[in-house]
Amino acid sequence: MIKDSNWRPLPDYLTIAKSKIEGLGLFVTKDLNEGVDLGITHVFDERFPDGYIRLPLGAFINHHEMPNCKAVFAEEDPNRGKLKHIRIVALKDIKMGDEITVKYVINKLDNPNWEQEYEITQ
């Protein structure tokens, strides 16, 4: 058992709730400013079919054609060093109660260039 852990699966300004888009979604519990980095959603791991393992933050983000956030592919993290991953950053101010959305592609496993195509759609 881990004692005195500060780790939580989601930042304190995010919660999971019923989505009007699809199933459950990720919602903000306080106003967020444009440019806020919400954190890492996926970490590269070649053992998985699409090359990434999804973290709790990435589990409930729904697609929207006019998203309020974008996915950023990165090779390093300021706190963790060299780490290939995907993180979410706010594209605009997001009001308390709004759902976090990104424009993404799903199941591009047959296309080895899916990461680059995903970045272009952002």
> Residues 26-74: pLDDT tens digits?
999 999 999 999 998 999 988 887 788 888 888 899 988 899 999 998 8
Query: Residue 117 pLDDT > 60, yes or no?
Result: no
Cα–Cα distance for residue pair 96/16, rounded to 1 Å: 13
* Global confidence as pTM: 0.77
Among 88, 36, 86, which Cα is nearest to 67's? 88
Q: Are 26 and 9 in contact (CB under 8 A)?
A: no
Mean residue pLDDT of the chain comes to 83
Tokens 């998203």 -> residue: 67
Residue 54: domain span: 14-121
> Looking at the 3D structure of the chain, how many domains does it have?
1
1 in a structural domain: no
Residue 34 inside a domain? The answer is yes
Q: Is the Cβ–Cβ distance between 64 and 52 less than 8 Å?
A: no
Is 110 strand, coil or helix? coil
- Residue 90 pLDDT exceeds 70: yes
Inside any domain, residue 5: no
**CATH number of the domain enclosing 76:** 2.170.270.10
pLDDT computed for residue 120 by the predictor: 43
Who contacts 20 (Cβ-Cβ below 8 Å, separation ≥6)?
99
